[in-house]
Amino acid sequence: MMASGASWESEAFTRLDGEDGVVVLKRCVDVDDLLATATSGQADVAVVGLEAPGLDPAAVAHLRRYAVRPVAVVSRTDDPDVLTRAQRVDIGALVAFDDLATLAGAVTTVEGVADTRVRAEPGDLGEPAPATTPEHRLVVVWGSGGAPGRTTTAVTMASLLAQRGRDTVLVDADPYGGGVAQQLGILDEVSGILSAARLAGSGHLAERFDSTCRGVGDRLRVVTGLPRADRWLEVRATALEQTLERALERGDVVVDTGFSLEDEPGQDFGSRPSRNAMTLAALDLADEVVVVGSADPVGLSRLARGLVELRDRTGGAPVRVVVNRMRPSLGWSEREIAGMVEGFSRVLGLHFLPDDRAATDRALVAGRALPETGDSSLLRAYDALVDATWPESATPEAPGRRRGRRAGRRRGVG
């Protein structure tokens, strides 16, 4: 229950608390508190003041995602302004201040829409949200600090997948400032993720998602990232979740994230997202995580720690490990690295990418993805990575079409 100090709160509490079959779990002080309580998974219904500050479509979507059904207490149930606001935030169950005798009844009978736990979206009232096509998958690219090549990996994987004829959405969700737009030579000032966050806040993301994407070629859509690192405050986890859910309706999704998994508990609700909320939200929704580490000693120790952190923090989406910038001068073999990675985590596969400054520079200077700037050993290794991540996209070798896939090395682990 969350009333934000409204006058009806104590009467509502007394009436509910005395009702058979109703347990008032918590009287929440504000929307932040309410959303955190919903996340605990113990609540079935939220009784909210419709006018409570911060109760916006994204907050209600968060409740529904955790299967918490909202009942709003309002001044009048026949006031058009009230009804418009209720519709905007997507709450159908309304009880008037002066009719609290019916509150317990409303709480025990409020419709539990069976499929609200996932993919619910305010804004498409009345029509069911289009079901996410099950074969679309969400792959999140993550890696510890030290610029191991997360962005290069996300951009190249998305670009190769699109080149294979699959509709693909690349989302830059790095809270420390996006690099995807630069790598793809997208120069306009409009940030896809900021406009998606604004649309999510106003409840219009469903119908206007496409306006947040930039097309690159026929099959690749790009949601560009934060133009400056300090704008992370504008993107809440719920907004990113909705963006990714929309993206999944368009195609396979590849997400570039930040390096840190540090969480500030309780910060990620209401108006104050936590710094790493975007990274954590993406990882929570991932079907598969690609962890990128550098092959040098510092990079490998970060990779080892990162794998442990990831295992502790996330719900166990399968992990694929990419060791980037392999070079003979480092003096260790793939087998030695495989032994180390195996010791830290069970992974789907371990992939090695060669250090190839010439190829990455060519792409960076051209402002194009690697696959568009000519063949290289690095590109062949990425091709093998995409074969493994989307086996269904790996067509039988057609002469002249595919680059020599055997050159990409992959080692199964665990």
Ligand X SMILES: Nc1ncnc2c1ncn2[C@@H]1O[C@H](COP(=O)(O)OP(=O)(O)OP(=O)(O)O)[C@@H](O)[C@H]1O
Output 259 or 269, the one with its CB closest to Mg ion.
259
Could you give the CA distance from residue 53 to residue 321 in angstroms, rounded to a whole number? 43
DSSP states along 59-92 = HHHHHHHTTPEEEEEES-TT-HHHHHHHHHHT--
6, 83, 330, 364: which one binds ligand X (CB under 6 A): 364
Could you give the CA distance from residue 141 to residue 258 in angstroms, rounded to a whole number? 9
- To which residue do tokens 């009436």 refer? 15
Binding map of ligand X across residues 144-163, x = CB under 6 A, - = no contact? ---xxxxxx-----------
Which burial class, exposed, middle or buried, applies to 281 when counting CB atoms under 10 A from its CB (0-12, 13-18, 19+)? Answer: buried
Helix, strand, coil percentages (3-state) for the chain, rounded to 5, are 45, 15, 40
By the rule CB under 6 A, 373 interacts with ligand X = no
At 392, list the tokens.
Answer: 């269904």
360, 373, 376, 389: which one binds ligand X (CB under 6 A): 360
Size of residue set near ligand X by CB under 6 A? 19
When CB distances are held under 5 to 8 angstroms depending on the partner's kind, the choice from ligand X, Mg ion, none that residue 378 binds is ligand X
136, 275, 325, 380: which one binds ligand X (CB under 6 A): 325
Binding site for Mg ion (CB under 5 A): 150-151, 179
By the rule CB under 6 A, 123 interacts with ligand X = no
At 41, list the tokens.
Answer: 């998974």
By the rule CB under 6 A, 296 interacts with ligand X = no
- Measuring CA to CA, which residue among 231, 236, 230, 306 is closest to residue 274? 236
CB of 121 to ligand X, least distance (A): 30
CB 251 within 8 A of CB 136: yes
CB of 174 to ligand X, least distance (A): 6
Output 105 or 374, the one with its CB closest to ligand X.
374
CB of 70 to Mg ion, least distance (A): 38
CB of 295 to ligand X, least distance (A): 9
259, 269, 352, 390: which one binds ligand X (CB under 6 A): 259
Output 12 or 369, the one with its CB closest to ligand X.
369
* Residues 6+ away with beta carbon under 8 Å from 11: 100
When CB distances are held under 5 to 8 angstroms depending on the partner's kind, the choice from ligand X, Mg ion, none that residue 149 binds is ligand X
* Residues 6+ away with beta carbon under 8 Å from 191: 178, 224, 225, 226, 227, 231
Output 71 or 181, the one with its CB closest to ligand X.
181
State the residues that interact with ligand X by CB under 6 A.
Answer: 143, 147-152, 174, 179, 259, 324-325, 353, 355-357, 360, 364, 378
